């Protein structure tokens, strides 16, 4: 049994049986898997790097906004902006190390099809969860396998920054994968398949 629905000037047939719905869903999944074939591991690594850059830019905006707010409204010295830029350079260097230790393996281990099927809220959670392990690994590497937390406020800020960068990086990575999947293979690949 099919139901005819109308959307504007167009008429659509919608299957109502369970088997017809399952067959349609299976065809859509196969189509989506075919679209992911052209997303190579090199492309995925490039997308993770673009995501990392976006996360670092967001961290820079956050640090500068905080420094400007403290300078303009709280009456603190202008040195806060310079300190924010120095902190950003330090955090960006460590975020690249975290990307190498956590971001690259995540992009290589999990296939693009798995990542693109994540819902946006779950992608935010996964992105936020990737930052703290990267920071812990960095603490362990530079702390000779000993992690000392003298001030909970300072380390909490570091974990917050790592979550900010990793969340933005993962969401941008997911968005680029989905955009690439939606656009399909490049024109040269389509012509090669048609010949």
Locate the domains of the chain by residue range.
2-36, 41-187
Query: What is the pLDDT, as a whole number, of residue 7?
Result: 55
Q: Which of 48-57, 81-90, 148-157 has the lowest mean pLDDT?
A: 148-157
Dist CA 115 CA 90 (whole Å): 30
The answer to whether residue 191 scores a pLDDT higher than 80 is no
* pLDDT range class, residue 68, cuts 50, 70, 90: confident
Dist CA 73 CA 134 (whole Å): 34
pLDDT in tens, 98-145: 999 998 999 889 988 899 999 999 999 999 999 999 988 888 888 776
Mean pLDDT of the chain: 79
Query: What is the pLDDT, as a whole number, of residue 188?
Result: 46
Tokens of 126: 């996964």
Higher pLDDT, 195 or 131: 131
pLDDT in tens, 148-168: 667 666 778 889 999 999 999
Distances (CA, A) of 146 to 143, 152, 174, 180: 5, 16, 34, 42
b/e 27-44 (16+ beta carbons within 10 angstroms → b) = eeeeeeeebbebbeeeeb
Distances (CA, A) of 97 to 22, 52, 76, 100, 104: 44, 11, 32, 5, 10
């Amino acid at each position: 049994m099919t139901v005819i629905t109308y959307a504007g000037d167009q008429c659509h047939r919608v299957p109502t049986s369970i088997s017809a719905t399952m067959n349609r869903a299976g065809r859509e999944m196969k189509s989506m898997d075919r679209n992911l074939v052209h997303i190579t591991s090199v492309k995925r690594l490039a997308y993770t790097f673009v995501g990392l850059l976006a996360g670092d830019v967001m961290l820079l905006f956050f640090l500068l906004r905080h420094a400007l707010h403290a300078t303009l409204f709280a009456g603190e010295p202008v040195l806060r902006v310079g300190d924010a830029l120095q902190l950003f350079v330090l955090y960006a260097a460590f975020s690249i190390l975290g990307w190498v230790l956590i971001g690259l393996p995540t992009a290589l281990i999990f296939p693009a099809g798995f990542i693109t099927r994540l819902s946006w809220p779950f992608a935010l959670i996964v992105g936020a969860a990737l930052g703290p392990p990267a920071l812990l690994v960095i603490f362990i590497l530079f702390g000779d396998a000993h992690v000392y937390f003298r001030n909970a406020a300072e380390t909490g800020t570091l974990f917050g920054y790592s979550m900010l960068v990793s969340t933005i990086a993962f969401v941008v990575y997911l968005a680029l994968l989905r955009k690439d999947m939606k656009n399909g293979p490049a024109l040269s690949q389509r012509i090669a398949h048609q010949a």
